[in-house]
């Protein structure tokens, strides 16, 4: 039974489903752990590269899982799964995979962008998915893990409540739960980033946007 690192353990704790698809399964460890723990009844691993496809096939052999060679959600049919995960990719890749087959995106999602998490949060905001949980996991760097549910009436008539009364732009960049109840370590990380960005000689629209958002968030902070 493969042991999950803290990042994938955090992902696994947010999944409970009948049939779950893991897009970009690579080693296949997440689905193997979910099946072993009884958190999912059946798994579908999807890979678009040969060696990761073979790795997933080996890990999931003999389990209630199928491994498919294909590109993102194109390898799924509509309504086939109740939930999916996409982990360990950049936010832009995650959003591209979701946008390429919008009719196959299930109602429950766990997304773990390695960077550009704001793109995933903006996609969810625009697509009617409400944040169910936001966790941070230690590892190579601080990973964010985002769990979403598709909002249904009457919730879908209002914007995601996770963002109510927050600076929307800052919440997209740094996470609505992190900025609503900022921990000391979160504020220290913001302060570190602020110092780093302030010293940069060349700024881009992205670094400017982050610096402005940090300044707004730190106005009342004593860190
Ligand atoms: C960095 S690995 C992450 C593996 C695993 N999800 C994890 O978090 O540990 C990304 C994996 O996604 C696969 N991948 C990237 N784009 C994909 C796509 N459009 N469809 C299926 N697999 C994809 C890659 O081949 C690679 O194995």
pLDDT in tens, 14-69: 999 999 999 999 999 999 999 999 999 999 999 999 999 999 999 999 999 999 99
**Any ligand 1 atom below 6 A from CB of 29:** no
| Sheet of strand 40-47, all strands in order from the earlier edge strand to the far edge | 65-69, 40-47, 17-23, 83-89, 108-113, 143-150, 129-137
Q: Is 195 in the pocket of ligand 1 (CB under 6 A)?
A: no
pLDDT score for 141: 85
Q: What spacing in Å lies between the alpha carbon of 23 and ligand 1's midpoint?
A: 6
Region 208-214: mean pLDDT is 95
Residue with CA at minimum distance from ligand 1 atom 4: 26
Residue 1 has pLDDT above 70, yes or no: no
State if residue 28 touches ligand 1 by the CB under 6 angstroms criterion.
Answer: no
- pLDDT at 99 exceeding the cut of 80: yes
Question: What is the rounded CA–CA span in Å between residue 42 and residue 223?
Answer: 47
CATH class of 6-150: alpha beta
Q: Which helix (H) or strand (E) holds 20?
A: strand 17-23
Q: Kindly give the interhelix angle for 50-60 and 29-36, rounded to the nearest 10 degrees.
A: 20
Domain with CATH 3.40.50.150 in the chain: 6-150
Residue 48 contacts residue 93 (beta carbons within 8 Å) = no
Beta partners for residue 40, in sequence order: 17
pLDDT at 165 over 80: yes
């Amino acid at each position: 039974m493969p042991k999950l690192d803290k990042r994938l353990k955090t992902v696994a704790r947010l999944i409970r489903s009948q049939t779950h698809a893991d897009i970009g399964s690579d080693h296949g460890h997440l689905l193997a752990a979910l099946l072993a723990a009884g958190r999912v009844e059946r798994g579908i691993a999807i890979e678009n590269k040969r060696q990761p496809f073979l790795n997933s096939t080996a890990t999931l052999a003999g389990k209630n899982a199928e491994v498919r060679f294909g590109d993102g959600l194109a390898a799924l049919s509509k309504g086939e799964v109740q939930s999916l995960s996409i982990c360990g990719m950049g936010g832009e890749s995650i959003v591209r995979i979701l946008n390429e087959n919008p009719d196959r995106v299930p109602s429950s999602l766990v997304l773990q962008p390695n960077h550009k998490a704001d793109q995933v949060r903006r996609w969810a905001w625009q697509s009617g998915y409400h944040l169910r949980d936001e966790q941070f996991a230690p590892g190579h760097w601080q990973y964010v893990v985002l769990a979403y549910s598709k909002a249904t009436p009457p919730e879908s008539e209002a914007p995601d409540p996770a963002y109510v009364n927050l600076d929307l732009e800052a919440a997209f960049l740094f996470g609505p739960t992190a900025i609503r109840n900022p921990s000391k370590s979160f504020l220290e990380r913001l302060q570190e980033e602020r110092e780093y960005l302030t010293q940069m000689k060349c700024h881009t629209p992205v670094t400017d946007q982050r610096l402005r958002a940090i300044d707004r968030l730190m106005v009342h902070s004593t860190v």
